[in-house]
Amino acid sequence: MRLALLAALAAGAAAPLARADITPTTKVTGIGYLGCQVLLQGLEFGDFNETLDDYFAERLASRWWMTSAVYCLDTYCKDTFDENYARFNQNFILYGPGPINPDPNYYRAMTNYSAIAKIDVTTARSKATIWNQTVSGTQLNFNNAYRTQLDFPQTEVYDHAFGWALYILLGAIVVVNMINRAVGHFSHKAQAADPEDGYAAVAADDSSLGARLNTWYRKHIGTPAAFGYRHNQSVGWGWLSVPTRVQAIGVFAYVALNFIFTFVGYDTFQGNMFYPGRTDLQLWRYVSDRTGIMSFWNLPLLWAFAGRNDILIWLTGWSYSGCNIFHRWVARVATIQAIIHSAGYTWFEMQQGYTMAEAFQEQYWATGVFATVTMSIMIPLSIKPIRAKVYEFFLMAHIVLAVATLVLLFYHVKVMDGAYDAWLWACVGIWAFDRLVRYIRIGALSYKAFGGKKNTVARLSGSLEAGSLVRLTVQSSIKTKPSPGAYYFLYTPRSLTPWENHPFTLASYEDTAEGTKFNFLFAPQAGATRKIAKRVAAAGSSTEMTVLLEGPYGQVHPVGSYEHVLLVAGGSGITSVLPYVYQLARAPRHPRKVTLVWSVRNATYASDVLSHELAPANTAGIDVHVHVSREDGASATDVIDRLPGHIASVDDTSSESNSGAADKEAALVSKEAGKNGATLRVHSGRAVMRELVEQHAAQLLGAERLAVLACGPGAMLDDIRAAVTDAYGTAEGKVRGDAIRYYEDAFGW
């Protein structure tokens, strides 16, 4: 019965936003009838039919309740009686058994005006008096009742207004990013490097306010990690990921808004007719409602930031890893809101004498509690160590718990007659859209392999334990032209786990009569890559298999529009950089200087790639520097000894590597150098990112610009991000904000 009355109150016309104490001179609007209903709420009449299990049916059948309600309208809603009586009738039609008598005189004739009990409703409620006559509350009673019925729907207006505020804020951010992306696209197109333009040798104006602001933004907001040095490396015993500073500002704004919205917009007062004298009950009821509703508003955002085929990514160019950061923060906020909602209502109901056993007999209560539990379980199961070490378990648990949460929430809000189903169906729609696009991508690229046709050749170079590489050549069903930076999810439908899929960066591609051949390169690690490598090793050094492709995903970085390009790769990160190497080497408009720096531990790995993917024929006009770290006991000489003799001659001169240590350096000059200008140097020891950035920044002339693209281990990426950040400034030896742009390929789960 309480739910029926509250639903009726919520359905009332929107109250004015301004709140004030109700006085006898306050104009009572067309929702004064709700004030009369609230005034009579909690009073017991002797002619109530207890067999009627319906709030409105019981009252419609009661002479004393109906005459008391009409008398209240006559007394306190004189100026708007007709409108209020019509709405009073409509309320019974919508929520009760049917209309009341259309003629109010019917109830007036039943009223014994000389026997009307003039009572203080609050006192009468406390005494649990049973009334067998028409009653009338005091002016103060009606004022409090009218304010109470204004307060409930008004609070609900705020609940949803704050939800809309989050969506409007996100929409504004998306629009700004779309504009920024469009401006950047046309700007890069117009500024593409041209060998005949003198490479922007005219000095740039660093003194303008716009230039100084841009430099300040790049140095302090746009580039650095949120705090300290780490972004790609985890903190807090490896449990937490740190966003970039600009991402952190977005996350902070989102969390702050949700926090603020939780505690504003409430009107609690001692005379509240639902909870007289208990402002704590009022506040917790409102906070519990607010957090539950806000959690629902956040659910579509949670699903939107989770998908691979995210419209937000398409519109703004945001990275998947960046959206994943927001996905995790939205999940945390929505879960905390759900916990507050559940805990608040638990305390609220217990304060009114209900037990947990009684509460769990209600479907909406039990399903709400279990939904909060499933949401809460997902948070600890999503920490980085679990995602990294047992990803398949994390993924399956995540899917099962997410589906369970949605199903439970549908049952939780069933009592609200569909009022909150839209948010849940939005989540279902977002998920279905993502899955549909995935299947379309798979079908378009791999439909010829659906019949079990083997469309992939897998080759293993060397032995499984000796720094070997796996090369996958996948034949697609159609011709396509992938962009640099593209990655694809690969499925092996004939395996024991055909649903499993993992991302692989495309190293290169070539057109064939049947479609396009996709070439993937990876070093066997744990998980899927290890399984594939073992399968190839068991077959010898090469095998055929069936692979389904889903993609492309990823971002294209406009490095070709810069005069100087520094490509930095660490370990297997070379696969992300290779497509840019090929694009720049073959571009008709070649940047003035392109340098590739690759840090790698394993000499076998390094020599294999240098002999094939980075052979001189593929690196025209590009300076290639390979740094062989000593962590695996490898050195520059080890790499050189493994290279085919036709690739290079060896210059035994010694020099210092850019690490500053007196390492032996072998300069390898391609026999093709005279034709395509490809050069290769192999160094012992790690490359120092700060020195790399400083050296290349110092080579900029006038308005020339440097693009830095990096892909590799987290520590290396954090080093180079910090180096680029430090390079910005207005002091001697520093560069302006638009002189260097840092691009990072780091896929994050």
Kindly tell me the sign of the dihedral angle through the C-alpha atoms of 48, 51, 55, 59: negative
Give the CATH number of the domain where residue 655 resides: 3.40.50.80
Domain presence at residue 166 = no
Structure tokens at 163: 């939800």
Domain presence at residue 146 = yes
pLDDT in tens, 346-361: 999 999 888 999 999 9
The SS3 assignment for 295 reads helix
pLDDT at 7 (0 to 100): 47
Query: In what helix (H) or strand (E) does residue 188 lie, and over which residues does it extend?
Result: helix 139-190
Residues in the chain, total: 749
Domain presence at residue 292 = yes
| Rounded Cα–Cα distance for residues 51 and 282 (Å) | 31
pLDDT at 21 (0 to 100): 52
Domain presence at residue 173 = no
| Rounded Cα–Cα distance for residues 331 and 492 (Å) | 31
N-to-C CA span, the chain: 47
Q: Which among 154, 171, 199 is the end of a domain?
A: 154
pLDDT at 118 (0 to 100): 94
Q: Which among 137, 154, 171 is the end of a domain?
A: 154
Count Cβ neighbours within 10 Å for each residue of 468-499 and write b for 16 or more, e otherwise.
bbbbbbbbbbeebebebbbbbbbbbeeeeeee
Domain match, 539 and 607 both: no
Give the CATH number of the domain where residue 507 resides: 2.40.30.10
Q: How many domains does the chain have?
A: 4
- The stretches in the chain having pLDDT less than 70 are 1-30, 185, 187-206, 465-467, 630-635, 645-678, 747-749
pLDDT at 748 (0 to 100): 57
| Rounded Cα–Cα distance for residues 283 and 263 (Å) | 9
- Bridging pattern class, strands 501-511 and 487-491: antiparallel
CB count, 10 Å around CB of 101?
13
The SS3 assignment for 123 reads helix
Domain match, 402 and 497 both: no
Domain match, 503 and 570 both: no
Domain presence at residue 660 = yes
Domain match, 514 and 609 both: no
pLDDT at 658 (0 to 100): 45
Domain presence at residue 97 = yes
Containing structural domain, residue 491: 448-553
Domain match, 517 and 575 both: no
Domain match, 529 and 603 both: no
Domain presence at residue 178 = no
Domain match, 311 and 246 both: yes
The SS3 assignment for 503 reads strand
Domain match, 608 and 725 both: yes
Query: In what helix (H) or strand (E) does residue 487 lie, and over which residues does it extend?
Result: strand 487-491
Please, are residues 733 and 598 in contact by the beta-carbon 8 Å criterion? no
Measured in degrees and rounded to the nearest 5, phi and psi for residue 508 equal -165, 175
Domain match, 521 and 583 both: no
pLDDT at 15 (0 to 100): 37
Domain match, 646 and 569 both: yes
Q: Which among 154, 173, 195 is the end of a domain?
A: 154
Domain match, 529 and 578 both: no
Domain match, 472 and 584 both: no
Domain presence at residue 611 = yes
The model's pTM: 0.88
